Chains A and B, each alone.
Chain A
Amino acid sequence: MDIQPDREFFAFLAQGKFMLQCARGGRPFFYPRVAEPGTGARDLAWVEASGLGAVYATTVVRSRPPQADYNVAVIELDEGPRMLSRVEDVAPDQVVIGMRVIAQIVPFEDHHTVIFRPVERAEGSGR
Chain B
Amino acid sequence: MNNTGRASTALVGAATFGIGEAPGFTSMDLAARAALAALEESGFRVADVDGLFIGLPSDFLSGLSFAEYLGIQPKLTNNNRTGGSAFLTHLGVAARALEVGEIDVALIAYGSNQRTGTGGLVSAASPNPYEMPYKPRLPVSAYALATSRHMHEYGTTRDHLFAVAQSARAWAGLNPEAFKRAPLSREEYFAARMVSDPLSVLDCCLVTDGAAAVVMVRRERAADCKGAPIYLLGLGEATDHYQIAQMPDLTTSAARFSGARAYAQARVSPADVDVVELYDAFTINTVMFLEDLGFCKKGEAGDFIASGAIAPGGSLPVNTNGGGLACVHPGMYGLFTVVESYRQLTGSAGERQVASAEIAVAHGNGGFLSSQVTAVLGGASTA
> Does A74 have its Cβ within 8 Å of any Cβ on chain B?
yes
Instruction: Name the residue in B131, B149, B245 with the highest tally of chain A Cβ atoms < 10 Å from its Cβ.
Output: B245
What's the least CB distance linking A109 to chain B, in Å? 8
Q: Chain B contacts of A59 at CB under 8 A?
A: 136, 141, 144-145, 148, 196-199
Instruction: Name the residue in A58, A59, A83 with the highest tally of chain B Cβ atoms < 10 Å from its Cβ.
Output: A59
Interface residue total, chain B, C-beta cutoff 8 A:
27
> Does A70 have its Cβ within 8 Å of any Cβ on chain B?
yes
Q: What string of 1s and 0s marks CB contacts (under 8 Å) between B122-147 and chain A?
A: 00000001110111110001001110
**From B150, which residue of chain A is reached at the shortest CB distance?**
A57
Q: Is there an interface contact between B130 and A31, defined as CB atoms closer than 8 Å?
A: yes
> Does B46 have its Cβ within 8 Å of any Cβ on chain A?
no
> Does B194 have its Cβ within 8 Å of any Cβ on chain A?
yes
What's the least CB distance linking A77 to chain B, in Å? 11
Q: Chain A contacts of B146 at CB under 8 A?
A: 57
The answer to whether A84 and B136 touch (CB under 8 A), given A56-B250, A62-B193, is yes
Tell me the bound Cα distance from A73 to B135 in angstroms.
Answer: 11
> Does B339 have its Cβ within 8 Å of any Cβ on chain A?
no
Complex interface residues of chain A between 17 and 45 (CB less than 8 A to chain B): 30-31
> Does B264 have its Cβ within 8 Å of any Cβ on chain A?
no
> Does B2 have its Cβ within 8 Å of any Cβ on chain A?
no
**From A59, which residue of chain B is reached at the shortest CB distance?**
B144
**From A108, which residue of chain B is reached at the shortest CB distance?**
B133
> Does B243 have its Cβ within 8 Å of any Cβ on chain A?
yes
Q: Is there an interface contact between B141 and A57, defined as CB atoms closer than 8 Å?
A: no
**From B146, which residue of chain A is reached at the shortest CB distance?**
A57
The answer to whether A57 and B130 touch (CB under 8 A), given A62-B196, A72-B136, A84-B244, is no
**From B193, which residue of chain A is reached at the shortest CB distance?**
A62
Tell me the bound Cα distance from A85 to B135 in angstroms.
Answer: 9
Contact among B129, B131, B149, B243 with A97 in the assembled complex (CB-CB below 8 Å): B149
Q: Is there an interface contact between A61 and B245, defined as CB atoms closer than 8 Å?
A: no
Instruction: Name the residue in A6, A84, A115 with the highest tally of chain B Cβ atoms < 10 Å from its Cβ.
Output: A84
Q: Chain A contacts of B198 at CB under 8 A?
A: 59
Q: Is there an interface contact between B243 and A62, defined as CB atoms closer than 8 Å?
A: no
Q: Is there an interface contact between B145 and A57, defined as CB atoms closer than 8 Å?
A: yes
> Does A79 have its Cβ within 8 Å of any Cβ on chain B?
no
Complex interface residues of chain A between 50 and 78 (CB less than 8 A to chain B): 56-62, 70, 72-74
Contact among B195, B199, B250 with A74 in the assembled complex (CB-CB below 8 Å): B250
Q: Is there an interface contact between B131 and A57, defined as CB atoms closer than 8 Å?
A: no
Instruction: Name the residue in A57, A61, A70, A82 with the highest tally of chain B Cβ atoms < 10 Å from its Cβ.
Output: A57
Q: Is there an interface contact between B130 and A86, defined as CB atoms closer than 8 Å?
A: no
Q: Is there an interface contact between A61 and B141, defined as CB atoms closer than 8 Å?
A: yes
The answer to whether A82 and B196 touch (CB under 8 A), given A61-B135, A72-B135, is no
The answer to whether A57 and B129 touch (CB under 8 A), given A72-B136, A74-B245, is no
What's the least CB distance linking A20 to chain B, in Å? 12
What's the least CB distance linking A61 to chain B, in Å? 5
**From B137, which residue of chain A is reached at the shortest CB distance?**
A61
Q: A59-B144, A84-B134, A84-B245 are in contact. List 4 more A-B contacts (CB 8 A).
A: A62-B196, A72-B141, A82-B246, A84-B131
Write the residues of chain B forming the contact surface with A, with a CB cutoff of 8 angstroms.
129-131, 133-137, 141, 144-146, 148-149, 152, 193-199, 243-246, 250
10 pairs of A and B residues whose beta carbons are closest in the complex: A59-B144, A57-B145, A113-B133, A60-B197, A84-B245, A57-B149, A97-B152, A31-B130, A108-B133, A72-B136
Write the residues of chain A forming the contact surface with B, with a CB cutoff of 8 angstroms.
6, 10, 30-31, 56-62, 70, 72-74, 82-86, 93, 97, 108-109, 113, 115
